[in-house]
């Protein structure tokens, strides 16, 4: 049975061109995405959205709230709680300016696409309710890039709660993709009093789902996903509470995962280092086939959630 792999029809030709040295990779844009968790009676559930089928990138695929870094958030001195910018810079493998922008992107996108805000009036509080016309007007202005997230926080007198985030993984969209992202994955728990909603123009559905159930849906071919999404879901499924997942974040490896394509016996072998599940063999003149040496292959996809 086919699983829920996301595999665009133009990939084989682009992969062959990359392997042959005739394709120049696009420079990836920095991005952030957040796996938002909440506890239920027996297991945590994660908030996911389904990208509209009309989307040029990963249409129909399930993903987490996320998006690109806004350069306006990199040097504006915002009120900040939790680990210092220097700590985040070391953790994310960037300088302090970029670290602030990446963390801001994670918090901003969660607010833009799910209506959940990881910020509060003081360093030890979180906003309890982000509904209402005034909040929606500000959220829409941030989403339209009419207002930077740093300016939004300043206008509202809010402190960004970086301590509510845990850095989980880093994936880079394969070099043969036309749209590429260098994406940091974060984990966070839904703040008390807040609730999610589908505030994204890019999604036609949102769900709270057990990570294990989402992974099972992918395995059955019922849910379409990209490799970083299913890979992070499988890891999330091992934790009994949202707090356990957050506590595990500091030990997570943030070495970037980038797909590699090579020619072998007139076929292209596509691999994601450290993730054998996604190995793909593309025969000469055909679409994706079985895994190398007769093995079965897993899902393939881009590097941004």
DSSP 193-207: T-------TTEEEEE
- Is pLDDT larger for residue 73 or for residue 209? 209
- Percent of the chain at pLDDT > 90 equals 56
In a domain, 83, yes or no: yes
| Whether residue 291 has pLDDT greater than 60 | no
Whole-number pLDDT of residue 177: 86
| Pairing of β 267-271 and β 280-282 | antiparallel
| Whether residue 179 has pLDDT greater than 60 | yes
pLDDT, average across residues 240-260: 95
DSSP 8-state assignment for residue 25: P
Mean pLDDT check: name the lowest of 34-38, 196-200, 212-216: 196-200
In a domain, 3, yes or no: no
In a domain, 300, yes or no: no
- Is pLDDT larger for residue 52 or for residue 179? 179
In a domain, 301, yes or no: no
Among candidates 45, 93, 96, 53, which has minimal Cα distance to 73?
96
Q: What are phi and psi of 260, to 5 degrees?
A: -125, 140
Cα dihedral sign for 200, 126, 36, 27? positive
pLDDT, average across residues 208-237: 94
Whole-number pLDDT of residue 57: 60
Q: Which helix (H) or strand (E) holds 50?
A: strand 44-51
Mean residue pLDDT across the chain: 86
Whole-number pLDDT of residue 44: 96
In a domain, 278, yes or no: yes
**Residues of the domain holding 86:** 11-294
Q: Cα–Cα distance between 180 and 174 in angstroms, integer?
A: 7
| Whether residue 305 has pLDDT greater than 90 | no
CB-CB neighbours of 64 under 10 Å:
24
Counting the structural domains of the chain, the total is 1
Please write the tens of the pLDDT for every residue from 144-173.
999 999 999 999 999 999 999 999 999 998
Residue 259 and residue 174 in contact, taking contact as beta carbons nearer than 8 Å: yes
In a domain, 98, yes or no: yes
**What is the pTM (predicted TM-score) of this model?**
0.88
Here the tokens at position 86 are 């220097």
Please write the tens of the pLDDT for every residue from 75-112.
677 899 999 999 999 999 999 999 999 999 999 999 99
Q: What are phi and psi of 102, to 5 degrees?
A: -70, -45
Q: What is the CATH number of the domain that holds 276?
A: 3.90.79.10
In a domain, 259, yes or no: yes
| Pairing of β 165-172 and β 181-189 | antiparallel
Whole-number pLDDT of residue 279: 86
Q: Cα–Cα distance between 110 and 188 in angstroms, integer?
A: 10
In a domain, 299, yes or no: no
Q: How confident is the model at residue 54 (pLDDT cuts 50, 70, 90)?
A: low
């Amino acid at each position: 049975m086919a699983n829920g792999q996301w595999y665009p029809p133009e990939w084989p030709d682009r992969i062959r061109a990359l392997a042959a040295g005739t394709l120049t990779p696009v420079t990836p844009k920095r991005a952030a995405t957040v796996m938002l968790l909440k506890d239920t009676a027996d297991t945590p559930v994660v908030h996911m959205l389904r990208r509209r089928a009309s989307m040029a990138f990963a249409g129909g695929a399930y993903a987490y709230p996320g998006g690109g870094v806004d350069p306006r958030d990199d040097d504006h001195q915002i009120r900040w709680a939790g680990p210092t910018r220097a700590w985040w810079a070391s953790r994310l493998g960037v300088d302090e300016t970029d670290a602030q922008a990446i963390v801001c992107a994670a918090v901003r996108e969660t607010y833009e696409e799910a209506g959940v805000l990881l910020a509060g009036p003081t360093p030890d509080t979180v906003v309890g309710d982000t509904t209402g016309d005034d909040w929606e007007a500000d959220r829409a202005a941030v989403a339209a890039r009419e207002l930077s997230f740093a300016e939004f926080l300043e206008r509202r007198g809010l402190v960004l709660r970086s301590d509510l985030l845990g850095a989980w993984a880093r994936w880079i969209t394969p070099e043969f993709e036309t749209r590429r992202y260098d994406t940091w994955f974060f984990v966070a728990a839904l703040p008390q009093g807040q609730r999610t909603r589908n505030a994204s123009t890019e999604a036609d559905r949102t769900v709270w789902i057990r990570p294990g159930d989402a992974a099972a849906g992918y395995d059955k071919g019922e849910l379409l996903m990209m490799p970083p999404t299913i890979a992070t879901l499988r890891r999330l499924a091992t934790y009994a509470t949202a707090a356990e997942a957050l506590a595990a974040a500091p030990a997570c490896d943030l070495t970037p995962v980038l797909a590699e394509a090579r020619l072998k016996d007139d076929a292209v072998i596509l691999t994601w280092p450290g993730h054998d599940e996604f190995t793909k063999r593309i025969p000469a003149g055909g679409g994706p086939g079985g895994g190398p040496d007769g093995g079965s292959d897993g899902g393939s996809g881009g590097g941004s959630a």
